[in-house]
A and B are shown apart, each in its own frame.
Chain A
Amino acid sequence: MMPFLIKLTENDKRILIAICIVVFLVFILIGYLGLLIERIMKRQARDLDTSMHDIVSTSVVDNPRYFRRIAFKKNARLFYKQSRLSFLLVFVSVAFLYFYLLSIRNFDLTFLLDYQTKGINTLFFIFDWPNTPHAIFFGMNLPSGWPPLLSAPHFMIEAWPSYIFMPLFTIGMVWLFINIQALIARTFRLLKMSSDVYKKSLDTVVPGADFKRTKE
């Protein structure tokens, strides 16, 4: 290992350091992304607190099992309430595509991502990723430049079904996944709180505090 490192030129060492920094930054970015998702999920889980607070504070629900049963029902209601529009978008887009394919009598879906005439990719930059220039570095074949451009954004009237279907479907699915994320957050929250709310601690207890004085 050591003779191999000694053989490195100054330029190689610089590139090696640059790669290490990039890897370090990528992992830090993933760490912060995880933190962001965690915070979003904590905020989403608060919806359950709002709907369960009064029931718990008035002792209508007084044991963990009953709490879980009611909380699961409320969670399902919240999910249904939040997901109706996203499901509608997905349903409308799929129904539209189905009837379009039925009208042209061709159920081949590959045209949706076409970048030349009929797909949504006519609106984006398309790069020729397989022909990215490469260079040999430490025996590894690494990309060494930007790939050649295959297609620049251009509007094609033949692609109108893709322009309608793809945005509706994508928005609906992303929205649905956000709602499913909220469902996961609330489910974990209710499972945690069902035991935490009814837990008693001896750390904070005051002896005799729950008895009322009858005589002075």
Chain B
Amino acid sequence: MIEFLKRFGLGILYVVLSPFFLLILALFTIYGLGLFLFMAVKACILFFTGRSVFDDMPEDTEAKRRLGQLVDEPLNRPFRSKKAVKTVTAEPIEEPKEIVKEEPKEEKVSSEPEPKAEVEPTHALAKPELPKKDGEVK
């Protein structure tokens, strides 16, 4: 019941404030139309210079670089504009290498003889000859 009363109060408040909401909507409509026209003109200009209005901003590129997500732009994103490629620093990020401690090797002392290394077979079947071409002299 309290929830209903709260909604009832808010309903009255919305009705009272509705002219201000409509005013904000009207102002943003004018702003939005202006913004759209500006962005459309900008997109046209950028299109003829080989770029796009939706390219990464320099801040995005920097953020990606810091996150370690930077990848080889020309290979993985071929449809991006040249600007995006230019802004990217192509330096590869070196990952820290793990230092592996070398453990001292234990010398095996055994009476058994070491197994002999396998010798490649020398008979003719081991290396089959390629079929001779016509006219070839052995």
Interface residues of A (CB under 8 A from B): 24, 26-35, 54-55, 57-61, 70, 73-74, 76-77, 79-81, 83, 87, 176-177, 179-181, 183-184, 187
Contact = CB atoms under 8 A, between A and B. Distances in A.
Contacts of B66: 58-60
B25 interface: yes
B35 A34 contact: no
B3 to A, nearest CB: 10
Interface stretch (B9-17, B79-87, B97-105, B126-134): B9-17
A179 B35 CA distance: 12
How many chain B residues sit at the interface, stated as a range, is: 20 to 34
A77 B39 CA distance: 8
Nearest to B5: A28
A182 B62 CA distance: 28
B62 A184 contact: no
Nearest to A69: B59
Contacts of B12: 27
Interface string B32-57: 10011011100100000000011001
A80 B59 contact: no
Contact of B57 (A24, A58, A73, A180): A73
B24 interface: yes
Contacts of B36: 79-80, 83, 87
B98 to A, nearest CB: 23
B28 A180 contact: yes
A76 B39 contact: yes
A158 B31 CA distance: 38
Contact of A28 (B7, B24, B25, B32): B7
